[in-house]
Structure 1
């Protein structure tokens, strides 16, 4: 019977609600009359008049929308509707009373009737809401949760969750002592000290963080405190996303690593972004990669005349072109998207593309970046990262491109691996080019690990945790700087506008993150525990040793020659350079060593050019080691 009623069409439920009110309102009038007169039996004429209460009130309630409210979704706003409806109803009934009995109506009678009607309408609606939500919760087996934050967002989240049925809020938790022990939307507010007791009593395994206005630093402090409770922690979207309509309040999500950063994201300077992009012809190399594709997304939002995608991977090019066309269509941006298959090593092809489409800005994101893979394949890494940058920069010079921005890395600072050395060498090439006469401004942007990019440690940890472990780390003391992909892309674009020539731009990235601590937090926030002597069934953290070329910590600056810029968190560094006349000769020698597959000479030449390069492992090229290296000699 209950399920049949819940499954009725909405208009039938509205008819039943109106019919129930039509029956109850006369009874309320008679009860009010008895209370007013103090008698036990109402006059017959008044019993007949009581029927008018339903006849007059129901149309008014319909007109005011009382029956349009969905019971499961009602909140305090219904009070206004009820008060308005009852005021009109009482006024109409008083007029009818004066007309029928030709006497002045009793003010006390209609005051009692009005108060009783308000009490009845509100009590019946909220009782029905609680009943239907309970039924829905029982049917859907909703998960009990705590909501941390009893403000506007928490209240809206509770209403949305109870209506959706996936989660059932048991209580609010809030630091504000003024709201402690109060009740909001029928849900009690507790202090943080009650959390452990509530989790245990109700079997709660998930806490929803509903304070979207929190700064990232404060959110991290709160997350650190909650990780000790061994519960899954989810968060609501940010205020900006809620206001812009990019998310709903009930779009809760897992805690991401960006929520654990010790600083707020760097806000972009919209004027700098627009000046570097709007109305221009822009080329992005490596457009199908993690950074390159995000660069493209950011660029099209600032409405360039055209965006040229240079990519060597056919699938990567296809995927990013499709996404960008859909993005432009949805936003109404008339941006010409031009997909070009090609390699940055093919200078004639690059020049042909730049001239054909009048390219004025180049963002060079094409690179091999995975440290161990480049260590195992050093010649390919040098070809792509060093000589690819050289050929693309020469093409930009030949085509009089206005701005050329290299995407670099913190691994270029005092590198211990071939990948880092190759990126530092690419920086040296652009610094040398910047000192030559010509219209092209060459600059580079250096930042730390990018969250969510291909090869990032975070997706790997998440996958390992979901599989039950172990979580593999290279070393217990290893630390890294982190930033988000949108931050990285915005920084690259702004650098193009700030560049004077030969600039190295770095971002104030806050404090580095200890990877072992990050792994523990991710395990705890997944509702699990780290395996140790007391919890053998937890997720094991296993240390596998540093990989070839890997170092314990990264840096962003080689020297101390750092200056501020127009952006408060972007710095400009002046670092050691090599004049092109000398660098060109050393690059030719490096090229010859690569052609001869002479890895010992390659390493020696790299150390000569990049004076800070200190290899942390033996030569690791897999083919060379088997054919002519130590493994071959052992045979």
Structure 2
């Protein structure tokens, strides 16, 4: 699918972007353009990939459409990962989140259409489902813009992929917990009942490629992800560190934070099909020619919602997941 293709990755120096680029290189693309505003991360990533001749690094911000138009020239695929992602940051600076996550996404759409890109893949989050914070709201708006772009007079197709938390990404709870355990012998937990969807970035990217290849355009692919209690995750990390006397401090829920996350809301479930063992697909409420016909063979998901509080992993399963990701 990606052989001899030119690919642009916005937010390409982040955790998702780093793994995405690594796996893309195995497909022998013509060129991968790594677009981000972080000069230091670009320098580090360039060294990690041994100045790979197929990687081209671009300093830019998706809030500036001119640089996106230049970067999208002759591009076949755009993976749109760039975003302000931290809930407290977006709560404190909602206007900046709006500029990046909403207006920036519209800039990506317009640049892709102008440059006749084949397909744009927008990486979304479980926080976009029935959002309770500005980050989730801004990503939900990004989803709406991406879906709507398929109604425009263009051959460029746009698809959303929604997932939960990826282990070990920047600011991940795993890094926070490991540091607290080793340095303070104490772990801060927002709420003892809190649950989250988790899986490895390697698995996430493999599923992204699948949706990229099989999507029509206009749908939201929702990853079926394992879920765990955050306190159980902390206990497994304590055991792995050989610590038995670690204190648990309950911090309280932060502004905009949920106890349980949704990958699929009750409203969305009404138009969701069970695609396969790895994905649900949400069909849009707006009309996109041929889309509902394409998915007419698939059965309804028959879900009230897809909530992280159900089917949580055991500690052994969490340990296995962390070992697979190389975190313990």
Work out whether the TM-score is over 0.5.
yes
Aligned equivalent of 2:320:
none
Aligned equivalent of 1:354:
72
Is it true that 1:570 corresponds to 2:286 in the alignment? Answer: no
Is it true that 1:434 corresponds to 2:145 in the alignment? Answer: no
Aligned equivalent of 2:300:
none
Please say if residues 221 and 281 of structure 2, whose CA atoms lie closer than 8 Å, have aligned partners that are also in contact. Answer: yes
Is it true that 1:486 corresponds to 2:196 in the alignment? Answer: no
Is it true that 1:548 corresponds to 2:255 in the alignment? Answer: yes
Q: Post-superposition shift, 1:390?
A: 0.5
Aligned equivalent of 1:318:
43
Q: Post-superposition shift, 1:374?
A: 1.0
Please say if residues 432 and 578 of structure 1, whose CA atoms lie closer than 8 Å, have aligned partners that are also in contact. Answer: no
> 2:83, 2:248 → 1: CA distance?
31
SS of residue paired to 2:116? coil
Q: Post-superposition shift, 1:428?
A: 0.2
> 2:27, 2:50 → 1: CA distance?
14
Within 5 Å, which residues of 2 pair with 1:409-428?
Answer: 409-428=125-144
| Change in CA separation of 1:305 and 1:415 when aligned onto 2, cut-off 3 Å | same
Q: Post-superposition shift, 1:462?
A: 0.8
Q: Post-superposition shift, 1:488?
A: 1.7
Please say if residues 345 and 392 of structure 1, whose CA atoms lie closer than 8 Å, have aligned partners that are also in contact. Answer: no
SS of residue paired to 1:420? helix
Higher RCO, 1 or 2 (CA under 8 Å, sep at least 6)?
A: 2
Aligned equivalent of 1:475:
191
Please say if residues 8 and 71 of structure 2, whose CA atoms lie closer than 8 Å, have aligned partners that are also in contact. Answer: no
| Change in CA separation of 1:476 and 1:576 when aligned onto 2, cut-off 3 Å | farther
Please say if residues 279 and 304 of structure 1, whose CA atoms lie closer than 8 Å, have aligned partners that are also in contact. Answer: yes
> 2:214, 2:182 → 1: CA distance?
43
Please say if residues 290 and 453 of structure 1, whose CA atoms lie closer than 8 Å, have aligned partners that are also in contact. Answer: yes
Q: Post-superposition shift, 1:506?
A: 1.1
Q: Which runs of 5+ in 1 are unaligned?
A: 1-274, 329-334, 530-537, 580-635
> 1:483, 1:577 → 2: CA distance?
31
Within 5 Å, which residues of 2 pair with 1:334-483?
Answer: 336-355=54-73, 358-483=74-199
Within 5 Å, which residues of 2 pair with 1:215-234?
Answer: none
Bigger proportion of residues as strand: 2
Is it true that 1:297 corresponds to 2:22 in the alignment? Answer: yes
Q: Post-superposition shift, 1:288?
A: 0.9
| Change in CA separation of 1:386 and 1:578 when aligned onto 2, cut-off 3 Å | farther
| 1:61-110 Cα distance to aligned partner (Å, 9 max, x none) | xxxxxxxxxxxxxxxxxxxxxxxxxxxxxxxxxxxxxxxxxxxxxxxxxx
> 1:522, 1:315 → 2: CA distance?
30
SS of residue paired to 1:408? strand
Number of equivalent positions: 285
| 1:296-318 Cα distance to aligned partner (Å, 9 max, x none) | 11111111011111111111222
Q: Which runs of 5+ in 2 are unaligned?
A: 289-328
SS of residue paired to 2:280? strand
From 471, 477, 497, the equivalent of 2:213 is 497
Bigger Cα Rg: 1
Q: TM-score, normalised on structure 2?
A: 0.83
Bigger proportion of residues as helix: 1
Deviation beyond 6 Å, 4+ runs, structure 1: none
Q: Post-superposition shift, 1:342?
A: 0.9
